[in-house]
Structure 1
Amino acid sequence: MKKRTLSFWEIWNMSFGFLGIQFGFALQGGFMSRIFQTLGADEHSIPLLWIAAPLTGLLVQPIIGYMSDRTWHSRLGRRRPYFLIGAILSSLALFFVPFSSALWIAAGFLWILDASINISMEPFRALVADKLTESQRTYGFVVQTLIIGIGTWIASNLPWMVSQIGVSDSAASGIIPDSVKVAFAIGAFVFLISILYTIFTTTEYPPEDMEEFKREKAKKNQFIPDILNNIGNMPLTMKKLGVIQFFSWFAFFTMWSLANPALTEHVFNTPAPVQSAFDMTNTIQAQAFDVANTAFQKSSNLVGSAMGVYGLSSMVFALLLVLYTSKRNINRKYVHMFSLMVGGLGFILMYFTTPENLKWCFVLIGFAWGSILSMPYAMLSSSVDPNKMGMFMGIFNMFIVIPQIIAALGGINFVSGLLGEESINAMTVAGISLIIAGLCNLLITNKNAISYQSE
């Protein structure tokens, strides 16, 4: 089937649902560790509490990719049914997460939230490849990254924004502040509305041979054999990209799980107070705990706001790429290498920064984030069978979640412990990991993956 060239606004509409998806991810990434700490988690246990997120991605994305490849609905098409289901579940989970009364409840909600976001997210990657010609794919993934950047910046600032209009940052021990609850409620609303916008403004191409599609769909479910067969026969370029993804996502999982405890302690000097260290029956001690807890909650707002800057800088980075790739090809390999190494420098500089300059570290990290969300997928989509795009995108997610699982099971604590006991060492490890990921781009040699060559 010959695909037509899409306009900017058509690509914008088909990617707009990622605004909501990123609201969910940014609130999860920026504030789940804060919720865990508020509910009494210590710093070393936080990565393990996060293990739900990569585990659900490992299980959900290949399944959804396989199912969406084999789906065709007369009104909603191939990918959009999954957008809708994921949006409804994610919005409900986002709303209820900050009402968790215990650590196990918060961890359970994180599991539900991440599974639901993955149901929506995986088909979005495949939709870009479905709808766009080879020559427009880099452009399409970059537009998607632009929208993700907008969502990251706004969502990361939501608790700070609502606290500025008078919503309280203070709360009793073990209770999530109202500013976080309101922010998550707004995120739930934006998630659902943005997905619905894409569903109503975007159409999909039907299968080229509907009869063959129906015959294939009617065959006995071969999900496990198909997955294993495609894993065993994945293209060499995909394996090389997997190495890059491993070190990239180890770094970002480290940031999401440990940036809040590391930066509130090292940069703002307001670590989360440990309730057992205070005699809560003593009025003075109880007041001291409240003062320390409020300081931690306010500095957590500022950490979240600073983290939002990486979304803003990734948005600027993506905008520059949109303007460039709308007319020209780029060398994806070197763009990705440079971006990851700049992001690694941003993490390392956190050790030396001040509260006023923390945002500049995240500006540098934003270049890496913008590239991670576009370049690997553009390179991958030029290297795999288009009829199995959903499945391969799901399998590719293994290279995202496996490093996160390793990090959650003690990888972060072990590697950062080699540098010392300070919590900020986790951010240094993230920086080193990103620099290694950047250098691994030198492994990519497939010319069509590096820069699409029109015939």
Structure 2
Amino acid sequence: MREDEVISGEKPTQSFWGLWNISFGFFGIQIGFALQNANMSRVFQSLGSAIDDLPALWVAAPLTGLLVQPIIGHLSDRTWLGRFGRRRPYFMLGAVLAALSLFLMPLSDVLLMAALLLWVLDASLNVSMEPFRAFVGDMLRRDQHTAGYAVQTAFIGAGAVVGSIVPWVMSQIGVANIAADGGIPDTVRYSFWLGGALLFLAVLWTVLTTKEYSPSEMAQFDGGLPASGEAEQGQALASKSYLGSGVWIVAGAIVCLSVASFDLEKEMYLLGGLLVAYGILNAIAISLARGGNTTGMLTSIVGDFSGMPPIMKKLALVQFFSWSALFIMWINTTPVVTQYVYNSTDTGSAAYNEGANWVGWLFAVYNGVAAVAALTLLPWLSRKFGKAKTHIFGLLCGALGFASFFVIRDPELLLVSEIGIGIAWASILAMPYAILASSLPQAKLGIFMGLFNIFVVVPQLLVATVMGSIMQAFFPGEPIWTMAFAAGTLVLAALAMMRVEVPGESR
């Protein structure tokens, strides 16, 4: 049966359990991300970090994603290890390293150790996560892409619920929620260890229950494109001027000079350094392409980045604003809730730790809502109104959720805020990828998904480097105003989404 379908040029239709197995590993990966998102600010503050220093400590997470995902996408497109497959070796490598990082993180006794382990943890999670995005496109027919990413989003939501509430559950069964020495509580310590085990087992499930299509099979499927298109991409890169590289370098230099001239937050040096680094790499890639090296990693990545399909460029702007809001939320929800709802900024107090645990519940609710919305609300809206309008609706729901933090001071009412944020989260995780998967060349699905992640990572770097300066200058000690920025950026994302034209849908 499978051979007939391969010969006909169509991938087999996956059953419910096929969809389940393809994405179940993401359940474990998201447990790791949820533990990180809900608890790392708490870990950093418990080890002595001030609120204004949190963005700088969090910068490791998006920076590792920026570096890792395009590289892993490029490599996984070109990997074939026989029965071990194309994407699955990267799943397992990342899972093993992430599980080790989660085991070691709660043993940190100094701030530097925790920051370094966050770097390793996020790099490892990205090694596993990036191929999973391409894996859905590899394994499913085009008419199942929306269903595939919806199931993946549901597992992301379910994994995040588990990761978010584990510290609270631990406290309910009698595990100490306050460390005697003011360090990392046992609730967080045991949660990280349990999360590491679940992450590894979930990824192992997907590795053992799926079989990837060989290169020869992929070549027969409708939409499969040979890798020989790289030569044309390399030639296009070789024809580019060095002027663009110079612009990036000058922009980075201006940022660095501004930090020194106007006494801005030192984290902005990182932003300037990244701009300079990209300008230099861009110039090197152009030089290599002109010299005939059009298939190397650097020339391929830079060439694919500059040659992104138009729909991907428009969605990139949407992602930029969307993920700015999400990163603001992950960094600042704990300080906002503990300070404005539980009236405590003392990390050693019972009120602060009760508030921090409640943040875990808030994160669990928005992820639970996302899991349900991904399988019910979003598919219905997508069929009725189209993917673009559905995504606009989801983003505006999130904006309302963030704005409500200004008026709600009852911790239980904040659960209502998380409903809107959960709908937005589901849409952000599903709709852009469903739109892209059917529009990208199959042979480059990994690298394009990795490059798309740049527009997830860059806004997080901007938040980590710029938000501290803005808050220190205009709202010192008042983290509630970060929620205004989060609401505003989601409105901008919705406006940008109005420019995206999905084939077959009216604008």
Instruction: Return the TM-score normalized by structure 1.
Output: 0.90
1:401 pairs with 2:457: yes
Aligned to 1:122: 130
Selected match of 2:395 from 320, 337, 340: 340
- The alpha-carbon deviation at position 252 of structure 1 amounts to 0.6
> Please, what is the CA RMSD of the aligned residues?
2.3
Tell me, in whole angstroms, the C-alpha distance in 2 between the residues paired with 1:435 and 1:415. Answer: 21
**How many equivalent pairs are there?**
430
Q: CA contact under 8 A between 2:69 and 2:453: conserved in structure 1?
A: yes
Q: CA contact under 8 A between 1:271 and 1:296: conserved in structure 2?
A: yes
Aligned to 2:255: none
Selected match of 2:448 from 392, 405, 408: 392
Q: CA contact under 8 A between 2:55 and 2:467: conserved in structure 1?
A: no
| Amino acid aligned to 1:342 | C
Q: CA contact under 8 A between 2:100 and 2:196: conserved in structure 1?
A: yes
Q: CA contact under 8 A between 1:13 and 1:198: conserved in structure 2?
A: yes
Task: Map residues 211-290 of structure 1 onto 2, 5 A cutoff.
Answer: 222-273=296-347
Tell me, in whole angstroms, the C-alpha distance in 2 between the residues paired with 1:243 and 1:216. Answer: 26
- The alpha-carbon deviation at position 221 of structure 1 amounts to 5.9
- The alpha-carbon deviation at position 129 of structure 1 amounts to 0.5
Task: Map residues 51-450 of structure 1 onto 2, 5 A cutoff.
Answer: 51-208=59-216, 222-273=296-347, 292-321=348-377, 324=380, 331-353=386-408, 354-411=410-467, 413-414=469-470, 418=474, 421-447=477-503
Q: CA contact under 8 A between 1:54 and 1:404: conserved in structure 2?
A: yes
- The alpha-carbon deviation at position 73 of structure 1 amounts to 1.2
Deviations 1:211-244 (A, max 9, x none): 9989999x99611001111111101111110110
Aligned to 1:23: 31
Deviations 1:146-202 (A, max 9, x none): 111111112100000011000001113441000101111110011000000111111
Q: CA contact under 8 A between 1:47 and 1:258: conserved in structure 2?
A: no
Deviations 1:104-129 (A, max 9, x none): 11110000000000000000000000
Q: CA contact under 8 A between 1:53 and 1:114: conserved in structure 2?
A: yes
Tell me, in whole angstroms, the C-alpha distance in 2 between the residues paired with 1:44 and 1:29. Answer: 17
Change in CA separation of 1:47 and 1:269 when aligned onto 2, cut-off 3 Å: same
Deviations 1:337-386 (A, max 9, x none): 10011011101101111212111111110000001111011111122211
- The alpha-carbon deviation at position 324 of structure 1 amounts to 4.3
Relative to structure 2, which stretch is displaced further, 376-385 or 83-92? 376-385
Other structure's SS at 1:373 match: helix
Moved >3 Å (runs of 4+):
209-217, 321-326, 415-421
Q: CA contact under 8 A between 2:64 and 2:122: conserved in structure 1?
A: yes
Q: CA contact under 8 A between 2:406 and 2:480: conserved in structure 1?
A: yes
- The alpha-carbon deviation at position 12 of structure 1 amounts to 0.9
Q: CA contact under 8 A between 1:416 and 1:425: conserved in structure 2?
A: no
Change in CA separation of 1:303 and 1:417 when aligned onto 2, cut-off 3 Å: farther
Relative to structure 2, which stretch is displaced further, 388-397 or 221-230? 221-230
Change in CA separation of 1:248 and 1:33 when aligned onto 2, cut-off 3 Å: same
Tell me, in whole angstroms, the C-alpha distance in 1 between the residues paired with 2:229 and 2:96. Answer: 30
- The alpha-carbon deviation at position 325 of structure 1 amounts to 9.0
Q: CA contact under 8 A between 1:207 and 1:213: conserved in structure 2?
A: no
Other structure's SS at 1:2 match: coil
| Amino acid aligned to 2:119 | W
Deviations 1:3-50 (A, max 9, x none): 011111101111000100100000001110000010111111101100
Tell me, in whole angstroms, the C-alpha distance in 1 between the residues paired with 2:503 and 2:407. Answer: 40
Tell me, in whole angstroms, the C-alpha distance in 1 between the residues paired with 2:327 and 2:77. Answer: 29
Aligned to 1:284: none
Q: CA contact under 8 A between 1:91 and 1:191: conserved in structure 2?
A: yes
Q: CA contact under 8 A between 2:366 and 2:422: conserved in structure 1?
A: yes
Q: CA contact under 8 A between 1:139 and 1:325: conserved in structure 2?
A: no
Q: CA contact under 8 A between 1:142 and 1:321: conserved in structure 2?
A: no
Residue ranges of structure 2 left out of the alignment (5+ in a row): 1-8, 220-224, 231-292
Tell me, in whole angstroms, the C-alpha distance in 2 between the residues paired with 1:312 and 1:100. Answer: 30
Change in CA separation of 1:82 and 1:222 when aligned onto 2, cut-off 3 Å: same
| Amino acid aligned to 2:145 | R
- The alpha-carbon deviation at position 295 of structure 1 amounts to 2.4
Change in CA separation of 1:322 and 1:370 when aligned onto 2, cut-off 3 Å: closer
Instruction: Return the TM-score normalized by structure 2.
Output: 0.81
Q: CA contact under 8 A between 1:412 and 1:426: conserved in structure 2?
A: no
Change in CA separation of 1:267 and 1:318 when aligned onto 2, cut-off 3 Å: same
Relative to structure 2, which stretch is displaced further, 205-214 or 313-322? 205-214
Other structure's SS at 1:171 match: coil
Tell me, in whole angstroms, the C-alpha distance in 1 between the residues paired with 2:446 and 2:485. Answer: 33
Q: CA contact under 8 A between 2:471 and 2:479: conserved in structure 1?
A: no
- The alpha-carbon deviation at position 210 of structure 1 amounts to 9.2
Q: CA contact under 8 A between 1:146 and 1:314: conserved in structure 2?
A: yes
Q: CA contact under 8 A between 2:387 and 2:502: conserved in structure 1?
A: no
